[in-house]
C-alpha cells in the first residue's frame, strides 16, 4: 500500500508556507479548521509584521485578532499566539524548542502541532501527525478503531516503523483531502481501494 501512496504523492512538502520553525508553528496553529491556502494568505502579511516570537509576545491582542480573523476562531488563536510568543521568549530565548516535551508547554500546542514542527522543521520523528483526514482514513483502512487522536497516534506508531511515520501520515492526509473525503469518498478513484475494508461499491 505504501509504495502506491508514494507513487501517487511523491512530494512530502507541506502546503503551508514557512521558512523557519517559528513561522511553521504559527502557520500550523492558524491552520486549525482553516485551509492552508487561506492561512498562507494571512501569513503573507502576518510574518513581516510579527517576524519572531518577541514581536508576537509584544503584540496588541486586538490587532493580532484582526490580523488572524480570516482563519476563524481568531480570538482563541490570537490569545494562543501571543501566549506562545511570551513563553518562547521567556523560557527559550526566543527560539522555538526542538523537543516534544518543550513544545507541549507552549500555549495552543498539542501533539499534532508538535509533530508537524518536529518532523518538518527539525527532522525529528517522535510520533504521527493525526489531523481530521488522518483520523478518517486510518479508521477506514482499519488501522484503528478509536476516535481519540492520542490513541490513533499510538495505533499507527505500532503498525508502521518509525521511518514511515512522517511520510505515511502526510500521504494519507493528502489522500483524505482529495480522495477519501468525509462525505461520499471517491472509492472509484482510489488506488488503495483494493486494500480498504471500507471500500464502497460504485453507485
Q: Which of 8, 52, 79, 112 is catalytic?
A: 112
pLDDT band at 193 (very low <50, low <70, confident <90, very high): very high
The fold of 127-195 is Endonuclease Iii, domain 2 (1.10.1670)
Instruction: Quickly count: other Cβ atoms within 10 Å of residue 10's Cβ.
Output: 10
Q: How far apart are CA 148 and CA 101, in angstroms?
A: 20
Residues 6+ apart with CB under 8 A from 126: 100, 114, 115, 118
Catalytic residue flag (residue 145): no
Catalytic residue flag (residue 66): no
Pick the CATH number of 21-110 from 3.30.930.10, 3.40.50.2300, 3.10.310.10, 1.10.340.30: 1.10.340.30
Q: Domain extents for the chain?
A: 21-110, 127-195
- DSSP class of residue 9 equals -
Q: How far apart are CA 35 and CA 183, in angstroms?
A: 17
Q: pTM for the full model?
A: 0.92
Q: Which of 45, 60, 131, 145 is catalytic?
A: 131
Task: Give per-residue pLDDT as tens, 28-78.
Answer: 999 999 999 999 999 999 999 999 999 999 999 999 999 999 999 999 999
Amino acid at each position: 500500500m505504501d509504495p502506491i501512496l508514494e507513487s501517487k504523492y511523491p512530494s512530502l512538502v507541506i502546503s503551508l508556507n514557512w521558512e523557519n520553525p517559528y513561522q511553521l508553528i504559527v502557520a500550523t496553529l492558524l491552520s486549525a479548521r482553516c485551509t492552508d491556502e487561506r492561512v498562507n494568505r494571512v501569513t503573507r502579511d502576518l510574518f513581516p509584521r510579527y517576524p519572531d516570537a518577541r514581536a508576537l509576545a509584544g503584540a496588541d491582542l486586538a490587532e493580532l485578532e484582526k490580523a488572524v480573523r480570516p482563519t476563524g476562531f481568531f480570538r482563541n488563536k490570537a490569545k494562543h499566539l501571543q501566549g506562545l510568543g511570551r513563553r518562547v521568549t521567556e523560557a527559550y530565548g526566543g527560539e522555538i524548542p526542538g523537543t516534544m516535551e518543550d513544545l507541549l508547554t507552549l500555549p495552543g500546542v498539542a501533539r499534532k502541532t508538535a509533530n508537524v514542527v518536529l518532523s518538518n522543521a527539525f527532522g525529528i520523528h517522535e510520533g504521527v501527525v493525526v489531523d481530521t483526514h488522518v483520523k478518517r482514513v486510518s479508521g477506514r483502512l482499519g488501522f484503528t478503531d478509536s476516535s481519540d487522536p492520542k490513541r490513533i497516534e499510538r495505533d499507527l506508531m505500532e503498525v508502521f516503523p518509525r521511518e514511515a511515520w512522517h511520510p505515511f501520515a502526510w500521504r494519507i492526509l493528502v489522500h483524505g483531502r482529495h480522495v477519501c473525503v468525509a462525505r461520499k469518498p471517491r472509492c472509484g478513484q482510489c488506488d488503495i481501494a483494493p486494500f480498504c475494508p471500507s471500500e464502497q461499491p460504485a453507485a
